[in-house]
Amino acid sequence: MSTKLLLKYDHIPNINRLEVYKQHGGYASAEKAIKTMTSDAIVDEVKKSGLRGRGGAGFPTGMKWSFLAKPPGVARYLVCNADESEPGTFKDRYLMERNPHLLLEGMLCSSFALGANTSYIYIRGEYFYIVPILEKAIEDAKAAGYLGKNILGTDYNLEIYVQVGGGAYICGEETALLESLEGKRGNPRMKPPFPAVAGLWGCPTVVNNVETIASVVSILENGGDEYAKLGVGKSTGTKLISASGHINKPGVYEIELGKVSVEEFINSDEYCGGVWKGRKLKAVVAGGSSVPILPTHLILQTSDGKPRMMSYESLGEGGFATGTMLGSGGFIVMDETVNIAENLYTFNRFYHHESCGQCSPCREGTGWMEKITHSIISGHGKNSDIDLLWDIQSKIDGKTICPLGEAAAWPVASAVRHFRDDFEKLIH
């Protein structure tokens, strides 16, 4: 059995209720933080833990926190990014639905460390049914003195509010999320300034993913050094993996980073339980739709023959020529019957639909990629279309305000690089 932190109490009935959560040590980290630690000490523990943003970018959380500007008399905000919309990713939903107090405790610890007295959970609108779950947990935590005024008898005050989005993948990008929270279209902002300096309503703001914030609870429970002992290299701690596609046991699994090989993750009964219907593995998208898709021989082994492990570094080994990324941990498995060009069409349609339209390369390029892929899979493609796809993606990559451009380009580049045959099969 692997080490579990975030899903440690997942099997406990009613862990979503405050009293049950408390029976299992809940709010002990928050109590320790607020009553015995300074905010700087908490930031130090998070730095020592090596925790990296779990939304997909993998930026060191402690460093992000340390960038927060603290001008006197100006409010600071923590915003929890619960806009989980990366295709293949459903771990934050799982966590919020089943253990809302873990997120609230993480927000309490994090808000205290950052000096925020108001924090927002920005949740994608489609997850509307989770709003009452979070709001009930907030109400109960408030009644028990963990939120509101003079928390646990100290002079620290914190209010947490839930804000619903309206259906827009782009709002998972932190500056688009802030625009949306301000009641505007989700158009990403030019950076700098970064949100740590000018974020929500122009105030210093930290935006962290649900899983990142929840991880702070275990970091404070045993200390950053203990957390950093889990995992391998710069992939410390544990990560939630959302497993879907052609496997026997789709679901959310917690792994210790770097300790489980991709092969074990796919085939072990503890995780995916093998490819379904006794079929062979063809390809894996390991970290959500945006990361490069890899064929079996490259996802199971690095190009120099080492087993590929579930960690930021191992999945990234070989760069985009032979590697991919851990991303959000959205692990989509495809069996031998899938034509990768056909699957790519669903991604291209997705990114075209979700482009905010601000930058021409993304707005126009995603549309062209969708149309060309559609023409190929409908039997109207030409061989030159494959090179055209390559050309278009290369003209989006790196040329847009926000990373949606790259997110749309990489699936195309990797599909053409590794599965050109699949496109050619559809061209008559």
Partner 1 sequence: MEVKFNEAALNTANKIISRYPDGKQKSAVLPLLHLAQAEFDGWLSIPVMDYIASILTIQPIEVYEVATFYSMFNMKPVGNCLIEICHTSSCWLRGAEDLIKHIENKLNIKAGETTADGKFSLKRVECLGSCGTAPMFQIGAQYYENLTTEKVDMILDDLDKSGKRRTYFDAVDLNAHK
Binding region for partner 1 (CB under 8 A): 75, 84-90, 92-93, 97, 118, 120, 124-129, 132, 161, 163-169, 180-186, 201, 242-246, 250-252, 285, 289, 330, 332, 334, 338, 343, 346-347, 349-350, 353-354, 356
Token couple for 356: 């905010």
- Give the whole-angstrom CA distance, residue 17 versus residue 178: 30
At its nearest, how many Å lie between partner 1 and the CB of residue 155?
A: 21
At its nearest, how many Å lie between partner 1 and the CB of residue 17?
A: 14
Residue nearer to partner 1 on the CB measure, 97 or 264: 97
- Beta carbons of 208 and 223 less than 8 angstroms apart: no
Residue nearer to partner 1 on the CB measure, 167 or 307: 167
Residue nearer to partner 1 on the CB measure, 94 or 156: 94
**DSSP structure class, residue 68:** -
Burial 222-243 (b: 16+ CB within 10 A, else e): eebeebbebbbeebbbbbbbbb
- Beta carbons of 358 and 401 less than 8 angstroms apart: yes
Give me the residue label for tokens 């709010």: 27
Residue nearer to partner 1 on the CB measure, 25 or 132: 132
Nearest to residue 230, comparing CAs of 305, 301, 310, 300?
Answer: 310
Residue nearer to partner 1 on the CB measure, 132 or 145: 132
Residue nearer to partner 1 on the CB measure, 168 or 386: 168
Token couple for 272: 């995916």
Helix (H/G/I), strand (E/B), else coil: 80: strand
At its nearest, how many Å lie between partner 1 and the CB of residue 227?
A: 27
- Give the whole-angstrom CA distance, residue 57 versus residue 330: 13
Residue nearer to partner 1 on the CB measure, 87 or 295: 87
| Half-sphere exposure (Cβ direction) of 6: Cα atoms closer than 13 Å | 27
- Give the whole-angstrom CA distance, residue 20 versus residue 22: 5
At its nearest, how many Å lie between partner 1 and the CB of residue 83?
A: 10
At its nearest, how many Å lie between partner 1 and the CB of residue 331?
A: 9
Nearest to residue 368, comparing CAs of 384, 352, 382, 380?
Answer: 352
Residue nearer to partner 1 on the CB measure, 65 or 90: 90
Residue nearer to partner 1 on the CB measure, 50 or 365: 365
At its nearest, how many Å lie between partner 1 and the CB of residue 184?
A: 7
Helix (H/G/I), strand (E/B), else coil: 361: helix
Full DSSP string of 193-237: SPTTTS-GGGS-EEEEEHHHHHHHHHHHHH-HHHHHHSEETTEES
Tell me which H or E stretch contains 392: helix 383-396
Residue nearer to partner 1 on the CB measure, 184 or 306: 184
Q: Who's near 19: CB < 8 A, 6+ residues apart? A: none
At its nearest, how many Å lie between partner 1 and the CB of residue 139?
A: 13
At its nearest, how many Å lie between partner 1 and the CB of residue 199?
A: 13
At its nearest, how many Å lie between partner 1 and the CB of residue 366?
A: 13
CA 318, 392, 167, 243 dihedral sign is negative
Residue nearer to partner 1 on the CB measure, 197 or 338: 338
At its nearest, how many Å lie between partner 1 and the CB of residue 150?
A: 20
- Give the whole-angstrom CA distance, residue 270 versus residue 253: 9
At its nearest, how many Å lie between partner 1 and the CB of residue 364?
A: 18
- Beta carbons of 268 and 323 less than 8 angstroms apart: no
